[in-house]
Every structure is written in structure tokens, then in C-alpha cells.
């Protein structure tokens, strides 16, 4: 690993990919600047748009982020059935 994110995979299948980000250097950086809300707007909000732009048959759900003070970010991707 050694990159910007530490994570653990929760589920990986044909129709779903779920993982938790347990460490985030981006969150650390913006927290050090005293601007975690800016980090959320600049970094975290891009995740949903990126997922939608990648494939409209893929849905990303995320209920919390480290940037907003949670212990981890919960990424849940799933393939939408009946789409396409």
C-alpha cells in the first residue's frame, strides 16, 4: 500500500464492491490546514460524480467520511440490475 489511502475490502463480487477507507492522507492534510470542510468539498464530493460518470449502471453509496469526522469512509458500489 503506502499510498494516500489505507482500506479494507468488505465485499467483492460481480455485482458489488464494498470497502472502508480507514486512513486518508487527504483528510490529514486538510485537517492540518484547519480546513476539513474544504477537503470534503474538493476531494470527497468528486467520488460520487466520478462513479456516475464512469458507468450509469454503477451506484455508489457512502454515508460517512473521515474528512467529516467519521472513523472511516464507507464506499459501497453496486451494479444496478435491469439497467442498460
pLDDT at 1: 47
Going from N- to C-terminal start, the domains of the chain cover: 5-79
pLDDT at 20: 99
2 has pLDDT over 60:
yes
Is 60 in contact with 48 (CB distance < 8 Å)? Answer: yes
First to last CA, the chain: 35
Dihedral of the alpha carbons of 17, 14, 11, 27, in degrees to the nearest 10: -10
Helix (H, G, I), strand (E, B) or coil at 16: strand
Residue 82 pLDDT grade (very low, low, confident, very high; cuts 50, 70, 90): low
Mean pLDDT of 14-22: 97
Tell me the pLDDT tens digit for each residue of 21-77.
999 999 999 999 999 999 999 999 999 989 889 888 999 999 999 999 999 999 999
Amino acid at each position: 500500500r503506502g499510498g494516500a489511502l489505507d482500506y479494507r475490502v468488505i465485499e467483492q463480487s460481480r455485482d458489488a464492491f464494498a470497502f472502508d477507507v480507514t486512513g486518508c492522507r487527504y483528510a490529514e492534510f486538510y485537517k492540518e490546514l484547519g480546513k476539513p470542510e474544504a477537503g470534503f468539498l474538493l476531494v470527497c464530493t468528486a467520488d460520487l460524480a466520478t462513479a456516475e460518470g464512469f458507468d450509469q449502471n454503477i451506484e455508489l453509496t457512502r454515508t460517512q467520511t473521515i474528512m467529516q469526522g467519521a472513523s472511516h469512509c464507507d464506499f459501497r458500489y453496486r451494479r444496478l440490475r435491469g439497467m442498460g
